[in-house]
Amino acid sequence: MQSAQGDWQVAAAEQIRRVEAAPLPPNIFALLREAAADVPDRDAWHFIASGRTITYAALLEQVERLAAGLASLGVRRGDHVAVMLSNVPEMPATWLALGRIGAVMVPVNVRYTGHELHYLLSDSGADRLVIQEDYLPALDAMPAPRPALADVVVVGAARPGQRRWQDLVDGFRPGFAPEREPVLDDLMNIQYTSGTTGLPKGCLLTQRYWLTCARAYSDCDGLRLRNILTGNPYFYMTPQWLLLMAFYQRGTLFVAPHISLTRFPEWMRRYRIEFCIFPMDIISQVPERPDDADNCIVRANIYIHRREQHAEAERRFGFPARSAFGMTEIGLGMFTPLGAAEMVGSGSCGMAAPFREVRIADLEGNTLPAGRTGELLIRGPGLLKGYHNKPEATAAAFHGDWFRTGDLASMDARGFVTIHGRIKEMIRRAGENISATEVEAALLAIPHVAEAAAIPVPDPLRGEEVKAYVGLEPGTTPVDLPPERIVELCRGRLAPFKVPRYIEYRTVPLPRSTSGKVRKPDLAAEKPDLRQGSWDRVSGRWM
């Protein structure tokens, strides 16, 4: 008789084979058309802030009308159209309509300033802009010379010379057919990365990318998931593939206006959500309630998390939380099968997902044996085609057809991967390499530490020293958790040379990208002398 562990491994392998063997739809619009034929009266989405819903049949018609309206402006296959919209229904509708034409959407972070919008329009080559009325001041603030825009389409009140989004829907009939039917390898998005290490790069993502990612997530466990929740901003990648996941499942995507840790559990209960990406900060920042486990979650995915909180999340909310790994460049990379309950709290981010192969390599691309730490490489159909207008960055991102994630990781004998840090976030002290992620994990294991980040500080003797930024839980002060105590607790988990020399308490949240990663260049740029305002472990005083 097989063990329970053997049972889930066999079942997971068989499910992956089934997912990979089934053909993808010919394009994204074809998936919508199939769903509308099957469940015409079911809601395709529900936007929580406004209460706006639309059935699959109505969405199909709206997308065809909008595609015809955009085509009337001259939008053609391959054209780049920037879209600066918040979590409103017009955002996914525009994406789907551009995909119907075979055009390319360039999502714009709605917090961008005029300078940042100028960079993205110039870098992407977008010659049209769809923008929410609220964000027109950013358009006004662009420095000269401004990129030439053939059309500005406004969701809301348009100015003279601009066009109203709604007019493009109302003025045309359904039944639009493009000059050529889009195919899987047609470009769909120029999706800009969050830019934690420099200017954002535009990832070239095809229709195959989105359909592969959504299909893998939708079917990795063979579940039926009718109600799916997202709170991520729509200019980021997550809500886009979650929408297609809902299409595959013939379900409804519930879209929150933004991530709210305090309201997320309420949304899960009220809308009877069955799948979500669960924000693990809830565990440390939102007080426990008696009705936390009153939800319908069948599976929750978690990404950046503290391994010590994993089992607590399952206990408190009563659902299986499974770790996964993804990036803008690859979509889904790894997942943890639902049956792999023994991986809870392991710190692993999962095993190779459907359509993906994973290996650990040295910096020359040579595969390392199980247990060795090296760079995480991933390959499979539907990865990014490259970085827009950046051939050198594209070449550096691959070993052959294997994408270099830049993550330091190890793999066990069963194929489960654990991330240990970022190659570019190594701190080199006196010839020793120190993983910033390892230091941060030690800090986050300290009771009452809510968030932490480690960065290098230049040092004339040792090259670099470790500085730790520490954010405390509400109600806790540096008097309650002094720097000497932090150092003492770190020494119990870290080799002496890894223990932070400098500690700075944060009274405001750490700066983060839209994907939740700490923007360490922002921390490093806050002051000319990074020692200033820090407690120095060596001298035992504040600098």
Residue 515 has pLDDT above 70, yes or no: no
* Tokens encoding 187: 């470009």
Q: Which residue has the higher pLDDT, 236 or 380?
A: 380
What distance in Å separates the CA atoms of residue 306 and residue 12, rounded to the nearest whole number?
Answer: 25
Q: Which ranges of 229-293 would DSSP assign to H, the alpha helix? A: 238-249, 264-270, 281-285
Non-local CB neighbours of 13 within 8 Å, separated by 6+ positions: none
User: What DSSP designation does 479 have?
Assistant: T
Residue 1 has pLDDT above 50, yes or no: no
* Tokens encoding 433: 């390499």
What distance in Å separates the CA atoms of residue 281 and residue 262, rounded to the nearest whole number?
Answer: 10
Average pLDDT, the chain: 93
pLDDT digits (tens, 9 = 90+) for 147-192: 999 999 999 999 999 999 999 999 999 999 999 999 999 999 999 9
pLDDT digits (tens, 9 = 90+) for 61-84: 999 999 999 999 999 999 999 999
Residue 110 has pLDDT above 50, yes or no: yes
Residue 196 has pLDDT above 60, yes or no: no
Domains of the chain: 28-411 (3.40.50.12780), 430-542 (3.30.300.30)
C-beta of residue 97 within 8 angstroms of C-beta of residue 25 = no
Residue 3 has pLDDT above 70, yes or no: no
What distance in Å separates the CA atoms of residue 515 and residue 506, rounded to the nearest whole number?
Answer: 21
Give burial (CB, 10 Å; 0-12/13-18/19+) of 181.
middle
Q: pLDDT value at position 497?
A: 86
Residue given tokens 């995507």 in the structure block: 253
Residue 454, Cβ neighbours under 10 Å: how many? 28
Sign of CA dihedral 425, 429, 434, 437: negative
Q: pLDDT value at position 82?
A: 98
pLDDT digits (tens, 9 = 90+) for 249-290: 999 999 999 989 999 999 999 999 999 999 998 998 899 999
Residue 195 has pLDDT above 70, yes or no: no
pLDDT digits (tens, 9 = 90+) for 278-325: 999 899 889 999 999 999 999 999 987 788 899 999 999 999 999 999
Percent of the chain with pLDDT over 90: 85
Confidence bin at 194 (pLDDT 50/70/90): low
What distance in Å separates the CA atoms of residue 225 and residue 377, rounded to the nearest whole number?
Answer: 30
User: What DSSP designation does 158 have?
Assistant: P
C-beta of residue 348 within 8 angstroms of C-beta of residue 174 = no
* Tokens encoding 96: 């789907």
* Tokens encoding 481: 């958790």
Residue given tokens 């792999």 in the structure block: 340
* Tokens encoding 543: 């600098």
Bridge partners (DSSP) of residue 435 are 426
Q: pLDDT value at position 116?
A: 87
Confidence bin at 92 (pLDDT 50/70/90): very high
pLDDT digits (tens, 9 = 90+) for 350-401: 999 999 999 999 989 999 999 999 999 999 999 999 999 999 999 999 999 9
What distance in Å separates the CA atoms of residue 457 and residue 542, rounded to the nearest whole number?
Answer: 16
* Tokens encoding 85: 């919209």
pLDDT digits (tens, 9 = 90+) for 159-170: 999 999 999 999
Residue 2 has pLDDT above 60, yes or no: no
Average pLDDT over residues 14-33: 97
Q: pLDDT value at position 426?
A: 78
pLDDT digits (tens, 9 = 90+) for 416-458: 999 987 777 778 888 777 878 889 988 999 999 999 999 999 9
